[in-house]
Amino acid sequence: MYETVALHLKSSESITVLTGAGVSTASGIPDFRSSEGLWTEDHDREFYMSADYFFHDPEDFWKKYKAIFRIKLLDHYKPNVTHQFIKRLESPNREVTVITQNVDGLHGLAGSTNVIEYHGSLKGATCPNCLESYSLSHVMSFETPTCGSCGEYLKPDVLLFGDMITAHEISEKAVRHSEVLLVMGTSLLVTPFNMLPHYAKDKTTTILINNEPTPSDHLFDYVIHEDLSTTVEKLSEFFM
């Protein structure tokens, strides 16, 4: 199967890659939503990481936000072999669009050219009043970061519970126009991200690589249940 999957990837002129938390776990970033992930340790986290709570108590929100997402360690995380493999898929004759649930910015660090951060990014914050943007270094310089222009509390660029998802339409378009849809490291449980594979056309080759079965396995032409790093190493042999 690996040779067949690799052949589809190599012969395609357009690939859309959907990635989830499983892609970043090899970089040391916890999978917050897995059965052993950090989200299961405290069921109140969704409440605290909501837009409602941010506007209710921005000071306490920022304290919890920085702790939950381990913001101090963010610069320590580096792209792993899966990020690098996805970057290697790009070529002058092959367009690759990455649509990621991850907010760690590692696809960009790996050099992927076209990345849609479906759930936003931990790499900065924006003033909800004047829309001025600020870097992660600015965010980390203050316990509760505020806007230098108007003084409002900054809101992180990561999508909070209750926020509107703005990247779905462009993501749907990318899936519809791809020859190959490659889904990696996601259980496809989060709505509406899990609807994206449904937009693949009949002529699109669909591939799922995840370490455990998902409710959407039946949607794919090829399904591999294996550790991502191991699978990527096997596929890479056909790209030598």
What tens digit of pLDDT does each residue of 203-219 get? 999 999 999 999 999 99
pLDDT reading at 151 higher than 60: yes
DSSP string, the chain: -HHHHHHHHHH-SEEEEEE-GGGTGGGT---TTSTTSGGGG-TTHHHHTBHHHHHH-HHHHHHHHHHHTTGGGGGG----HHHHHHHHT-BTTBEEEEEES--S-HHHHHT-SEEEETTEEEEEEE-TTT--EEEHHHHHTSSS-B-TTT-PBPEEEEPPBTPPP-SHHHHHHHHHT-SEEEEES----STTGGGGGGG--TTSEEEEEESS--TTGGG-SEEEES-HHHHHHHHHGGG-
What tens digit of pLDDT does each residue of 80-139 get? 999 999 999 999 999 999 999 999 999 999 999 999 999 999 999 999 999 999 999 999
Q: Residue ranges for the binding site?
A: 127, 130, 147, 150
| 119 given a catalytic annotation | yes
Q: Residue ranges for the binding site for Zn(2+)?
A: 127, 130, 147, 150
- The confidence score (pLDDT) of residue 239 equals 83
pLDDT reading at 46 higher than 90: no
pLDDT-derived band at 35 (thresholds 50, 70, 90) equals very low
Domain 31-76+123-158: which topology?
SIR2/SIRT2 'Small Domain' (3.30.1600)
Domain boundaries, the chain: 1-29+78-119+165-240, 31-76+123-158
Look up the pTM and report it.
0.90
Query: What would the mean pLDDT of 26-33 be, rounded to a whole number?
Result: 73
Average pLDDT over the chain reads 92
pLDDT-derived band at 68 (thresholds 50, 70, 90) equals confident
Query: What would the mean pLDDT of 39-57 be, rounded to a whole number?
Result: 80
Q: Which of 8, 83, 107, 119 is catalytic?
A: 119
pLDDT reading at 164 higher than 70: yes
Task: Looking at the structure, give the CATH architecture of the domain made up of residues 1-29+78-119+165-240.
Answer: 3-Layer(aba) Sandwich (3.40)
